Chains A and B, each alone.
Chain A
């Protein structure tokens, strides 16, 4: 097995291990609670028999490691348990919402990635010009704003004042693709604005880094035109860091989805997670939280692997 394969497998193994630790974290946390989970949820006034019934429902009469293994076995068979709030199967609740969240995230990513990379390229190319400063200032303020602020400002201007887009992003299975794209435009735009700012700044930094190398100066001294330096000298070497930046920001996007979904009442996983946390519906929190963590970790491992594969120097580190 080559060294590269070993490294890649090692990273993937670490990612999976982290997921196991995170999934166990909730069980440990519940165990550490003062008193008992059933008592905490039902409050002081609960009678002994209600408590006992609730404990049995939660499986609290079992020791924690047995409960964890039971749950883990179920998850591997696609069974995430039953929701405490609605009594429905968690996997039923997840299905359509998972698709909705992925749709929104993909929608935002498809637009944000090219825009951010092109803006970052141009800002690096025209460094310290008015364009660069303008783009940078806009990006910095976009990063400083909470997602819900951006979302509500967009609602106020594009929806209420201009009346171009709907306020709420309600979609269901009967909505056509075209209609769904139209109705989810505002939440997607909110995500795009926030993610583009991060991605563009990191892309700019990556390219400026490459432009500082001696071989670029050599090309410049040879009299190679500026656009050719960027396209055929700098870009091939900057591509790896840029792909890395994209993967990292997609991971960021998956978290931003939570707040944006609440702003626009979009029927996705984020909304489900927030509702489940307020009603302390553990099976749902665990399943959805784990899903978000899994996507985030996968994208981060992917970014890691891409940078190792593309940069031979990292293979001999330490």
Chain B
């Protein structure tokens, strides 16, 4: 681990530092935050002061505390959603590659339809049906992002299923879960991991955008995207406070992209 970190370029170190800082902030949010997540501590739109480092928001809640809890909510939900999309997408993709036939055909055509429509429009249409709420949003985004993961997992697994050791396991009489879990998954694991970072960025930006539009994470839950929307009025007075959560979103995305770039570079460098 130590040597790995030493070989990392400055850009990746920067990315890792940001990522760890955000993760720690999210995990220890209640300990760090000076006030509660939804606690009203004073008048609306108070300027920055010693008591409220970033001032207060449109309802008189402490901005800094909401930023800290926002790290937990926004990033945590993005992580959960990506993990869901990955478990289902990877499982179905490997299953399609292993079984082939009509199962593969039906699932692949469904994924084609999902991917033919822009994700944001599809999410808006689905959320109109089920109604905006946090569990619904997670479900809808996970369903949408199952599609690209399915495609990747299926393509990667296709290269593995015809190999001799899978054939041998099949002849041994191993069941499908064993084949998926013990024979195929370990061999496409590295491909999936790199993709996880990229997809997490998309999902994270997607949740932020939906919350900004008012149909993602619902108030009073603190969320970076929604915080921009709630306090947008302040911008017309030349106050940069509402831009801080937006900048946090941008910073985290850049950080993850830098780490993924480094990992991809390392993976390709080791192969050649």
A residues contacting B by CB (< 8 A) are 15, 18, 21-22, 25-26, 29-30, 33, 40, 140-141, 144-149, 152-153, 155-156, 160-161, 167, 251, 254-255, 258-259, 262, 273-274, 276-278, 280-282, 285-286, 289, 292-293, 296-297, 300
Contacts and interface: CB of A to CB of B under 8 A. Distances in A.
B203 to A, nearest CB: 13
Interface stretch (B2-10, B249-257, B263-271): B249-257
Nearest to B124: A277
A50 to B, nearest CB: 18
A13 B216 CA distance: 35
A38 to B, nearest CB: 13
Interface of A, helix, strand, loop or mixed by DSSP = helix
B138 to A, nearest CB: 17
A165 to B, nearest CB: 13
A297 B116 CA distance: 6
B214 A146 contact: no
A293 B205 contact: no
Interface stretch (B77-85, B149-157, B184-192, B237-245): B237-245
B235 A156 contact: yes
Contacts, number: 134
Given A274-B215, A277-B124, A296-B116, 4 more contacts: A146-B205, A156-B235, A278-B132, A286-B125
Contact of B116 (A40, A140, A282, A300): A300
Interface of B, helix, strand, loop or mixed by DSSP = helix
Contacts of B51: none
B142 to A, nearest CB: 15
Given A22-B113, A156-B238, A274-B213, A292 B254 contact: no
Nearest to A22: B117
> Which 5 pairs, one residue from A and one from B, show the smallest C-beta to C-beta distance?
A149-B246, A144-B253, A29-B129, A145-B250, A285-B128
Contacts of B103: none
A270 B261 CA distance: 33
B239 to A, nearest CB: 9
User: Which of under 10, 10 to 19, 20 to 34, or 35 or more describes the interface residues of B?
Assistant: 35 or more
18 contacts: A18-B116, A29-B129, A145-B253, A146-B246, A147-B209, A152-B235, A152-B246, A153-B243, A155-B236, A160-B235, A167-B236, A255-B118, A258-B124, A259-B209, A259-B213, A277-B213, A281-B128, A296-B118
Given A18-B113, A146-B246, A258-B120, A26 B215 contact: no
B27 interface: no
Contact of B125 (A25, A254, A278): A25
A59 to B, nearest CB: 15
Contacts of A15: 116
A281 B124 CA distance: 12
A18 B240 CA distance: 44
B261 to A, nearest CB: 9
B200 interface: no
B205 A254 contact: no
A164 B1 CA distance: 52
B250 A146 contact: yes
A149 B250 contact: yes
B141 to A, nearest CB: 14
B131 interface: yes
A146 B249 contact: yes
B113 A274 contact: no
Given A254-B118, A293-B118, A148 B212 contact: yes
Nearest to B228: A148
A40 B130 CA distance: 9
Nearest to B109: A21
B22 interface: no
